[in-house]
Structure 1
């Protein structure tokens, strides 16, 4: 790339600043200073040379401070190595540990030569300080591993006593690599938590819209745990945007608590419409029955055990108002466990047709123009397990990218707790076969 004058632009670098201090700290006290220099590659960041400190193959804890980060990672950390097999790079998966500090515990490759700290983006500001490496002996490692994953730590010790060193090392690495919720929880608190002022503002804005778009939610139901179905419905009733309807089809559930729960929900909220099938037809037919009930201009898909962010339909409606020609809208998502804790966020790219060919990265939340959905015939029976992927491939074939909108916000929480009765829990192998068929 060249600038308008025809000369290559200068490489992006961090603004000049005093280089941070880095130390190799000993278990019994004392420390050795380690050399730090700007990245040689021209990217914003720093390089820490490990030559001469004999850390290859050692188990260590690497920690650093990024002042002002609020526990949100702004730096990519890599271990550089050079040996007989060539040059390699290993990414460090750090965890926020409080006070703007981050840490990683693991085994350095035998051929490790340096650590590289790189800004995550060209615009990322960071203030790296107090870099420390602390080497661990076996007792300390097992203790750390036991605090994080007692079962894996026990297996590591078992295999080590049997002199199965490679297997023991793998178990230990898995235990030590277990991350808490600190980093994502900090991100949620800082970037994904609404205040009462935010809620009032959203309600007032939605109330001021003329002809607000109506969203029909398609929910097939088959024998979920009643408490997770109730949570899914409650997440709809808690929406800050009121112009939605729930079209729920009970696919001949065998648990008598399910039709009772659905009848109670329909009785308290006229926006909830319920139909019960006489026989089980599986997810595609049940969803198509829900589609036949839909009166909204757009249709959203919601599994019977997942939940929506309270601002989900407000964000969708705002996107539709900004461009009424949109046919497909999707958002970022994360997972939620049995205790309601959020984890594993999926921050997605904008529309990428080639990526969609290989995997259904769009779900969830997915919202489709109802007329387009009906023109396609809805979901196709026989593709259960990957019926959504099949639908999206058919929908986007020939669809201009301008009619697809990605909302870069986590609006959908996919329940990952085992035993929740999700369709994907029941037939993982069948789902993979259906994906390949799609």
Structure 2
């Protein structure tokens, strides 16, 4: 008879990385407790948890008060999610930052898996992970890594890997069609402030703008190939209520960002141009569904400048065919 192996308890993780978790909120009293509970349930405890209330008019303050001194509450007049996150980052004292929206959740090992890797490899500039997309009832729809072209390419390059290091050449594909999600992003507080934080005044795409600037300033990043966060898809969200307006704003954000990236590495610029191409094509199809034909053509014509690529020509032709 074989003697069963002795199961040793997992030793408490000791890491130099301390995490400040920042949760901006605006009228999310119904879901905020779920988000907070997921942070408090971390196997590697957060150094501190901030809720930055961006002018809520519901019971947000009372929800946070129930947690006592386990959560730091800050109220501000409504100024937008970027300002709220930046305020939280200015108050933070942890060496690393993690961000969570007030209607989403962290997986239990979200902080532990990053903290342990940082301890082994402190030269990582930032870290990411996988994210599950869920319906409001919690049912699974898809995962970030397997639903992105770059994520699938990584899995093919590194089969069965639990951790993958990204080099500079990977940042372009990550931006073009990757899985960089703010809920799984960990970056040092010093890096965040050096980058200037989230862009104030950007309504759509502020997360991506920060990540693009982060990639431009980085050499190496780590990806944990496990689910670290859960993003809940609500049909009533502001983006989905005005999908067309949100897509227009997203294209404008990307174009503005491209103008700021002229000095960045060619691979990153190429990835951003591909992201813009995809965004413009999506906008054109949205216009076509509303029979706004002239606007659809106007969305894709800029892709032909200054020198049209074969892909851009094909995109324009596909929109023209859609008009007929």
Displacement, 1:361? 2.7
**Closer, same or farther in 2 for the Cα pair 1:389/1:360, shift >3 Å?**
farther
Distance 2:108 2:239 in 1: 24
**2:66 paired with 1:272:** no
After superposition, give the CA deviation of every residue in 1:256-285 in whole Å (9 maximum; x if it has no partner): x111112222x1xx34111000x2110111
> Secondary structure at 2:66's aligned position in 1?
helix
1:397 aligned residue (197, 211, 216): 216
Greater relative CO, 1 or 2 (CA 8 Å, sep 6+): 2
Displacement, 1:400? 1.1
1:418 aligned residue (222, 235, 255): 235
Displacement, 1:219? 1.3
Displacement, 1:432? 4.1
Structure 1, unaligned runs of 5 or more: 1-196
> Secondary structure at 1:231's aligned position in 2?
helix
1:362 corresponds in structure 2 to 180
Q: Compare 390-399 and 422-431 and name the one that shifted more.
A: 422-431
1:214 aligned residue (15, 18, 21): 18
1:205 corresponds in structure 2 to 12
After superposition, give the CA deviation of every residue in 1:308-353 in whole Å (9 maximum; x if it has no partner): 1111111111111111222200001111222222230122345321
2:44 aligned residue (213, 223, 241): 241
> Secondary structure at 2:111's aligned position in 1?
helix
> Secondary structure at 1:371's aligned position in 2?
helix
1:283 aligned residue (51, 67, 81): 81
- What TM-score, normalized to structure 2? 0.64
After superposition, give the CA deviation of every residue in 1:97-120 in whole Å (9 maximum; x if it has no partner): xxxxxxxxxxxxxxxxxxxxxxxx
Displacement, 1:377? 1.3
> Relative to total residues, which structure has the larger helix share, 1 or 2?
2
After superposition, give the CA deviation of every residue in 1:20-60 in whole Å (9 maximum; x if it has no partner): xxxxxxxxxxxxxxxxxxxxxxxxxxxxxxxxxxxxxxxxx
- What TM-score, normalized to structure 1? 0.48
Contact 2:40/2:46 (CA < 8 Å) preserved in 1?
no
Distance 1:409 1:371 in 2: 26
1:227 corresponds in structure 2 to 30
What is the count of residue pairs matched by the alignment? 228
Displacement, 1:243? 3.7
Which entry has the higher C-alpha Rg, 1 or 2? 1
Contact 1:342/1:413 (CA < 8 Å) preserved in 2?
no
RMSD: 2.4
Contact 2:39/2:46 (CA < 8 Å) preserved in 1?
no
Contact 1:336/1:417 (CA < 8 Å) preserved in 2?
no
Structure 2, unaligned runs of 5 or more: 1-5, 146-150, 155-163, 258-324
Structure 1 residues 234-383: aligned runs within 5 Å: 234-255=37-58, 257-265=59-67, 267=68, 270-277=69-76, 279-347=77-145, 348=151, 349=154, 351=166, 352-359=170-177, 361-363=179-181, 364-383=183-202
